[in-house]
Homo-oligomer: A and B are copies of this chain.
Amino acid sequence: MALGWEDIRTEVLRRIEARHWAPGALIPTEEALAEELGCARTTVNRALRDLAAAGLLERRRKAGTRVALHPVRRARFDIPVTRLEIEGRGQSYAFHLIEERRAEPPAAVASLFRSPPGVPLLRLRGLHLADNRPALYEERWLDPAVLPEPAPDFRRISPNEWLVSHVPWTGGDIAFSAANACPEEADILGCAPGAALFVCERVTEAEGRPITSVRLLHAPGYRLRADL
């Protein structure tokens, strides 16, 4: 019959959901499950590893595998390039560069970049438009060392998109929050001052050093969906 690892996962999941094994309880060893379900231990291992990665099981060597006491919901979502996200909704995309200049960053950003005082970074501000309406306003600091000669024309391609396809990144950090639009932001995004904006702050690193930090302000009405 040939049971696949996904079948094993399904069966284990069924038992968890049916409270066949209570939360916090030990479940049989891989070997026992393999014998019971009629497959190799490798196959059980893969299924259990997958469920553990999903947060449903907790596994420790020697201690065994137990059903997670607090099934942490581990949500995942994709962060597409803004252009693709907008075009994916069937809208036309455009990017409007508001500002591009060298400037000394505020202390918080400077310490983040671990750059010595007096060294300017590249300051970029721009607006992403969907069907010619403001959709996303970005304020960015960028380490000019990553730019080639000649520098890309950010009036034609958004910094985000250029970075994604030209600079190898190795890590970073991302956080979401909500903020009231200040008058200038409201003006740029074409919304009322004080409107609640969905904010995404990102720091992108390469080889352990920050390359760029950006604050993305979404126009009112934006929703970020994730899968459980």
Pairwise interchain contact A23-B70, C-beta atoms closer than 8 A: no
Q: Tell me, rounded to whole Å, the shortest Cβ–Cβ distance linking A185 to chain B.
A: 11
**Which residues of chain B are within 8 angstroms of A177 by Cβ–Cβ distance?**
198, 221-224
Central interface residue in A17, A77, A170, by most chain B CB within 10 Å: A77
Does A172 have its Cβ within 8 Å of any Cβ on chain B? yes
Binding site for B on A (CB under 8 A): 16-19, 23, 55, 69-81, 84, 164-165, 168-180, 194-199, 206, 218, 220-228
Given contacts A168-B19, A180-B195, A196-B180, contact A78 B70 (CB under 8 A): no
Copies in the complex: 2
Is B75 in contact with A174, judged by CB distance below 8 angstroms?
yes
Which residues of the other chain, B, contact A228 by a CB distance below 8 angstroms?
A: 171-174
Question: Of the candidates B18, B79, B169, which one forms a contact with A75 in the assembled complex, judged by CB atoms under 8 Å apart?
Answer: B79
- Nearest 3 pairs of A and B residues by beta carbon: A17-B168, A178-B178, A196-B196
Q: How far is the CA of A83 from the CA of B59 in the complex (A)?
A: 23
Interface centre among A17, A79, A168, A226 (most CB of B within 10 A): A226
Contacting residues, chain B, for A17 (C-beta < 8 A): 168-170, 206
B80 touches A77 (CB 8 A): no
Chain B residues, Cβ within 8 Å of A164: 70-71
- Complex Cα gap A69–B166 (Å): 11
A74-B77, A176-B223, A178-B198 known; 10 other A-B pairs, CB under 8 Å?
Answer: A55-B78, A70-B164, A73-B174, A74-B76, A171-B228, A174-B225, A176-B176, A176-B224, A178-B197, A179-B196
- Chain B nearest CB from A27 CB (Å) reads 15
Q: How many angstroms from the CA of A46 to the CA of B97 in the assembled complex?
A: 43
CB–CB B168/A18 < 8 A: yes
B residues less than 8 Å from A169 (CB atoms): 17, 71
